[in-house]
Amino acid sequence: MGALDYLSNFCTVTSTRSRRKPMQTVEIKVKMDCDGCERRVRNAVKSMKGVKTVEVIRKQSRVVVSGFIDPNKVLKRVKNTGKRAEFWPYVPYNLVYYPYVTQAYDKRAPSGFVRNVVQAIPPPNATEERITYLFSDDNPNACSIM
């Protein structure tokens, strides 16, 4: 069997195709003033290989692209249109512990969004946290003040 194994190494077919990229959604912030800007960005991204959907929200200056794509290539393609672009830097307001922490609140952010920054979590012995544990909705007779 040693000779057959040796010969089979010469006869095997190896695939040089690259693996398919995973399905993902890329959100990009792009300043768009008119329908022409919106159309130029949409057509630039839509012509990329692997793109399934392109959603342009001009009011928020936002482009959402879904498909089997590389996020950096999408950003580069949008920048090639002559527009200033960056990855979407905002998160929904209700997902942030302290939305008004330094550098999180941004006046230019769309309504309902704040900038995605590292949040400071309060220490466990903070007074706010201790007060919330005094009363329990599960057991109303367990009030620790009485």
Among 59-63, 87-91, 102-106, 114-118, which range has the highest average pLDDT? 59-63
pLDDT of residue 51 exceeding 80: yes
Query: In b/e form, how buried is each residue of 91-105, taking b as 16+ CB within 10 angstroms?
Result: beeeebeebeeeebe
Main-chain phi, psi angles of 61, to 5 degrees: 55, 50
The residue assigned the tokens 């201790």 is: 130
pLDDT of residue 139: 62
pTM above 0.85, yes or no: no
pLDDT of residue 136: 59
Q: What is the mean pLDDT of residues 37-56?
A: 93
Enter the tokens of residue 97: 């512990």
What is the share, in percent, of the chain residues with pLDDT greater than 70?
71
Per-residue pLDDT tens digits for 92-113: 878 777 766 777 777 777 888 8
Per-residue pLDDT tens digits for 67-86: 999 999 999 999 999 999 99
| Adjacent-strand bridge partners of 101 | none
pLDDT of residue 131: 55
One-letter amino acid identity for 116?
A: N
| Cβ pair 33, 41 in contact under 8 A | no
pLDDT of residue 117 exceeding 90: no
